[in-house]
């Protein structure tokens, strides 16, 4: 493959696996495509050939029967019935970790992720209690959502455990900087934060001359921390309403500069691409533009629901609405932290329980 200039994004892998299918993208690295029943209709999983030690699988798809049936075929065909050594979940979201427990039980593999991602998955799959339900309702009510939308969001209760029927009971913990041996190749755990609190990415430098596997490709399995065409969701959730994940995300975007510009990025959604630095710049610009747009919108005091509507004018289903509202609040909280906006309660619009955001006069 020719070198990619620093400022270009390209997609050097020409074909895409069909749902349930796979193809090799580098020696011993399989790209697996799994279906999702959402508008975002697929997730990529990765199988790394560790030779005699067995496969390392990165991400798992949803924990539903359709995905389990696909994995049964993949284990037999794509992986040739050979053992699975470990399963890595890049983060706790259902499309990544949902089938992990089933895979652990089926294959006997070790489960690995960061501590925070595993704890989140364990917590959320255990279901909610009355206090959490009340916090969720309070959060979305303060956003000023129409009552019909609010009812639809609250009716999603239990959505996580439907996609994640179980989470492995034990963890082999990954920390940023750890090395993971897969066969004779070492992958490095890259940390970061933003899309979730402690996601895991895996980086493998280009093969050296003497290792018998010199394929010349640096690889990054990026999870959802960086994606080629869509902006990874950066959201505030009802259980941590004052969080500022956007600051974490913007810091993490800068960290990609430490990796080679022509790294082949293997993202969880979309196609493998090169142009990591350019993509990080694009995403940083996207958020800067969004922040400027929100700041000027809030010249007139706005609810989070109004800001959501301005950012995402198309009709959204309840699944998309939680991400859209969460994303709007993430930007609002970031602007508050930066001293650009104030949040005031009970401003008269819509009722006393609804927050309004307004530009700080001296801003
Ligand atoms: Zn995700």
**What does the pLDDT read at residue 50?**
97
Instruction: Give distance in angstroms: CA of 176 to centre of ligand 1.
Output: 18
Token code pair at residue 188: 């490095």
Instruction: Give distance in angstroms: CA of 198 to centre of ligand 1.
Output: 11
Instruction: Give distance in angstroms: CA of 197 to centre of ligand 1.
Output: 11
**CA–CA–CA angle 249, 42, 326 (5° rounding):** 35
Let me know if residue 313 belongs to a domain: no
**What does the pLDDT read at residue 13?**
92
Angle subtended by helix axes 318-337 and 147-154, to nearest 10: 110
Q: State how far the Cα of 322 lies from the Cα of 149, in Å rounded to an integer.
A: 10
Angle subtended by helix axes 318-337 and 276-297, to nearest 10: 80
Instruction: Give distance in angstroms: CA of 234 to centre of ligand 1.
Output: 9
Instruction: Give distance in angstroms: CA of 299 to centre of ligand 1.
Output: 33
Instruction: Give distance in angstroms: CA of 150 to centre of ligand 1.
Output: 23
**What does the pLDDT read at residue 1?**
46
Instruction: Give distance in angstroms: CA of 224 to centre of ligand 1.
Output: 5
* 42-49 and 29-35 beta bridge pairing: antiparallel
Token code pair at residue 331: 């930007």
Let me know if residue 169 belongs to a domain: yes
- How far from the centroid of its chain's Cα atoms is residue 72's Cα? 25
Instruction: Give distance in angstroms: CA of 347 to centre of ligand 1.
Output: 34
Instruction: Give distance in angstroms: CA of 91 to centre of ligand 1.
Output: 7
- The total of other beta-carbon atoms located within 10 Å of residue 262's CB is 22
Instruction: Give distance in angstroms: CA of 3 to centre of ligand 1.
Output: 30
Instruction: Give distance in angstroms: CA of 311 to centre of ligand 1.
Output: 20
**What does the pLDDT read at residue 203?**
98
Let me know if residue 81 belongs to a domain: yes
Instruction: Give distance in angstroms: CA of 199 to centre of ligand 1.
Output: 9
CA dihedral (58, 270, 236, 39) in degrees, to 10, reads -110
Task: Give me the number of domains the chain comprises.
Answer: 1
Instruction: Give distance in angstroms: CA of 289 to centre of ligand 1.
Output: 23
Instruction: Give distance in angstroms: CA of 305 to centre of ligand 1.
Output: 23
Instruction: Give distance in angstroms: CA of 269 to centre of ligand 1.
Output: 9
Let me know if residue 275 belongs to a domain: yes
Instruction: Give distance in angstroms: CA of 205 to centre of ligand 1.
Output: 24
Instruction: Give distance in angstroms: CA of 155 to centre of ligand 1.
Output: 21
Let me know if residue 282 belongs to a domain: yes
CATH number of the domain that residue 65 is part of: 3.60.15.10
For residues 53 and 108, is the Cβ–Cβ distance under 8 A?
no
Give the sign of the dihedral formed by CA 334, CA 338, CA 340, CA 342: positive
3-class secondary structure for the chain? CCCCCCCCCECCCCCCCCCCCEEEEECCEEEEEEECCCCCCEEEEEEEECHHHCEEEECCCCCCHHHHHHHHHHHHCCCCCCCEEEEECCCCCHHHHCCHHHHHHHHCCEEEECHHHHHHHHHHHCCCCHHHHHHHHHHHHHCCCCHHHHHHHHCCCCHHHHHCCCCCCCCEECCCCCEEEECCEEEEEECCCCCCCCCCEEEECCCCHHHCCCCCCCEEEEECCCCCCCCCCCCCCCCCCCCCHHHHHHHHHHHHHHCCCCCEEEECCCCCEECHHHHHHHHHHHHHHHHHHHHHHCCCCECHHHHHHHHCCCCCCHHHHHHHHHHHHHHHHHHHHCCCEEEEECCCCCCCCCEEEEECCCC
Let me know if residue 329 belongs to a domain: no
**What does the pLDDT read at residue 103?**
98
For 159-201, what is each residue's pLDDT tens digit?
Answer: 899 999 999 999 999 999 999 999 999 999 999 999 999 999 9
Q: Please give the residue range of the domain that contains residue 68.
A: 22-127+159-294
Let me know if residue 27 belongs to a domain: yes
**What does the pLDDT read at residue 348?**
56
> Low-confidence residues of the chain, pLDDT below 70?
1-7, 208-215, 346-351, 362-363
Let me know if residue 142 belongs to a domain: no
């Amino acid at each position: 493959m020719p070198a990619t200039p620093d400022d270009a994004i390209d997609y050097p892998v020409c074909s895409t696996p069909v749902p349930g299918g796979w193809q090799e993208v580098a020696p011993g690295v399989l790209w697996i495509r799994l279906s999702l029943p959402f508008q975002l209709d697929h997730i990529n999983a990765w199988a790394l050939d560790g030779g005699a030690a067995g496969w390392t699988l990165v991400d798992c798809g949803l924990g539903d029967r359709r995905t389990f049936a696909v994995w049964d075929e993949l284990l037999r065909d794509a992986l040739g019935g050979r053992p699975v050594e470990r399963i890595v979940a890049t983060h706790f979201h259902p499309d990544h970790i949902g089938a992990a427990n089933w895979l652990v039980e089926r294959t006997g593999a070790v489960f690995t992720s960061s501590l925070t991602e595993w704890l989140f998955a364990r917590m959320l799959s255990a279901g909610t209690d009355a206090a959490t339900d009340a916090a969720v309702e309070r959060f979305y009510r303060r956003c000023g959502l129409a009552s019909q939308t609010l009812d639809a969001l609250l009716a999603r209760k239990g959505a996580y455990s439907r996609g994640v029927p179980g989470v492995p009971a034990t963890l082999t913990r990954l920390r940023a900087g750890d090395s993971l041996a897969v066969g004779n190749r070492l992958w490095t755990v890259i940390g970061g934060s933003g899309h979730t609190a402690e996601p895991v990415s895996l980086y493998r430098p280009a093969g050296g001359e003497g290792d018998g596997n010199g394929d010349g490709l640096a690889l990054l399995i990026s999870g959802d921390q960086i994606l080629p065409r869509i902006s990874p969701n950066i959201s505030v959730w009802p259980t941590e309403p004052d969080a500022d994940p956007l600051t974490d995300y913007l810091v993490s975007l800068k960290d990609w500069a430490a990796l080679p510009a022509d790294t082949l990025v293997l993202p969880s959604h979309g196609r493998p691409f090169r142009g990591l630095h350019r993509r990080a710049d694009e995403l940083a610009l996207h958020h800067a533009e969004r922040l400027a747009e929100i700041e000027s919108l809030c010249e007139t005091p706005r609810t989070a629901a109004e800001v959501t509507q301005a950012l995402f004018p198309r009709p959204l289903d309840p699944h998309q609405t939680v991400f859209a509202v969460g994303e709007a609040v993430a930007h609002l909280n970031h602007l508050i932290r930066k001293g650009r906006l104030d949040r005031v309660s009970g401003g008269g619009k819509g009722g006393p329980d609804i927050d309004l955001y307004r530009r700080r006069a001296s801003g």
